[in-house]
Structure 1
Amino acid sequence: MSEHMPVAFAPAAVLFDMDGLMIESERALLQCWRQASQRLGLALDDELWLSFVGLPDRTCVELLRARLPEPQVQALLQHCHARYDVQVEAGLPLKPGVLELLALLAQRGLPRAVVTSTRRERALQKLQRCGLLAHFDTVVTGSDVVHAKPAPDIYLLAAQRLGVAPSQCVVLEDSVPGVRAALAAGMTPIQVPDLVMPDAAVRALGHRIVDSLLQARALLEPALTTGPC
């Protein structure tokens, strides 16, 4: 399948990842990790921080514990989160095209969900501060499932909450774990990569890949009707 093939069915719902897809948060968090590790004198590079993209907090902590003793892990988390809290509270920038796409979906009467690995309290804080929360029918977070992305559980729960079949859901994702989760749930993902570009193995999954939410809208809009098929 072409990476730029329009969606061929009228979706019953559109599910959105949050960080790196709707909110320009991954770069801010990357910088917080860098600054925190430098302050503590830790020799950690961007490869580690980029490996966190799309993963739940608990998995990121385990990756840190594989490299650092527990006191350093806790100090790093404290410094990073303190810096990031300030930015989240101020309201992080939105990705270009997200509000226009949400307005279009609302106009067409399509249910919308946020599906994020972020813990619930933090996810709701981000969505509220960025002015996105009111645009969605439900928010499903990493706090709501046992098995995080790339397991399909979080997307299946979103479909259940919206009362739609997984096969009739289009998913917008930036991360590889998110794309794999959507595919495992039997959904149709459109990937909008942010910090981590898809390699050959990811492209071999055969899903749609675009450069922006504006391009994602172009693939989705021809399939939109006043309601699902």
Structure 2
Amino acid sequence: MIKAAIFDMDGLLIDSERIIMQACITAAQQVGITYTQADYVELIGLAGPDSTRVMTAQLGGIEKFNQVMVGLDAELSKRNNAFPLKQGALQLLQHYRANHVVCSVASSSATHHIKHRLSQVGAMDYFAHITSGQEVARGKPNPDIYLLAIKKLGLPAEQCIAFEDSEAGARAAIAAGLKVVVVPDLIQPSEFVTKHSHQIADSLLSYLERI
């Protein structure tokens, strides 16, 4: 019996990945660098230090990375770093609350970003716990963030279900021994993730309609 649900945030609960990707592309263009969707998807699901390392290599060094980050921050500030909820997110959270399933977040994003983005869409109060990439030594696809989230819940992994959109995130949840529902956003799951996931769903709404 499922007693807790653990959610990734970006690209899963909130529709942020496409917006952030376009902001990265625009910020890179502003300093004369061509940045593509293929480049951006390499970052999805990674913790801050890992995404910084990958993006620095993509852009050609720390100076160019810093220039792009200034532009990215400016682009996202235009929308107050706020992003809309994904289809079915609120309905699924409401369903779990009504059925006494505890909800938590396990996101590679920084804690302040998690709280800000979920508060902006009125979803923060649905979560009993938040676990961020800042709290673990190794980011996704390592299982550390999910193992910590499970520890905070005080439940065995088999009584929890995880929701992910990314390859790295899904692999992390699988490695932590969780049932994983993958809702693809910018990239489709690999054969490994598809094989080891509990379910692949078109959206959180379509998953809710099946349970």
TM-score tier, shorter chain, comes to over 0.9
Instruction: Name 1:80's counterpart in structure 2.
Output: 72
Over aligned residue pairs, what C-alpha RMSD do you find?
1.4
Q: Deviations over 1:79-138 (max 9, x none)?
A: 112212332x26311111111111110011111101100011111111111211111101
The alpha carbon displacement at 1:201 in A equals 4.3
Q: In the alignment, which of 138, 147, 151 is matched to residue 147 of structure 1?
A: 138
The reply on whether 1:35 has 2:23 as its aligned counterpart is no
The reply on whether 1:110 has 2:126 as its aligned counterpart is no
Distance 1:99 1:12 in 2: 18
Instruction: Name 2:57's counterpart in structure 1.
Output: 66
Q: Deviations over 1:189-221 (max 9, x none)?
A: 0000001112434324354211110122234x3
Runs of at least 5 residues in structure 1 that lack an aligned partner in the other structure: 1-9, 222-229
Distance 2:129 2:190 in 1: 32
| More contact order relative to length (CA 8 Å, sep ≥ 6) | 1
Give the structure-2-normalised TM-score. 0.94
Distance 2:164 2:36 in 1: 25
SS at match of 1:181: helix
The reply on whether 1:12 has 2:3 as its aligned counterpart is yes
Instruction: Name 1:185's counterpart in structure 2.
Output: 176
Q: Deviations over 1:44-80 (max 9, x none)?
A: 2221111111112221110122231221110011111
Letter in 1 for 2:143: P
Give the structure-1-normalised TM-score. 0.87
Instruction: Name 1:171's counterpart in structure 2.
Output: 162
The number of residues matched between the two structures is: 210
Letter in 1 for 2:177: G
The alpha carbon displacement at 1:168 in A equals 1.3
Instruction: Name 2:41's counterpart in structure 1.
Output: 50
SS at match of 2:138: coil
SS at match of 1:29: helix
* Structure 2 CA distance for partners of 1:206 and 1:166, relative to 1, 3 Å: closer
Q: Deviations over 1:5-29 (max 9, x none)?
A: xxxxx21201111011110100110
Q: In the alignment, which of 77, 82, 94 is matched to residue 91 of structure 1?
A: 82
Distance 1:206 1:125 in 2: 30
Instruction: Name 2:185's counterpart in structure 1.
Output: 194
Letter in 1 for 2:74: A
Distance 1:31 1:44 in 2: 9
Using the aligned pairs only, state the percent identity: 32
The reply on whether 1:211 has 2:205 as its aligned counterpart is no
Distance 1:119 1:206 in 2: 26
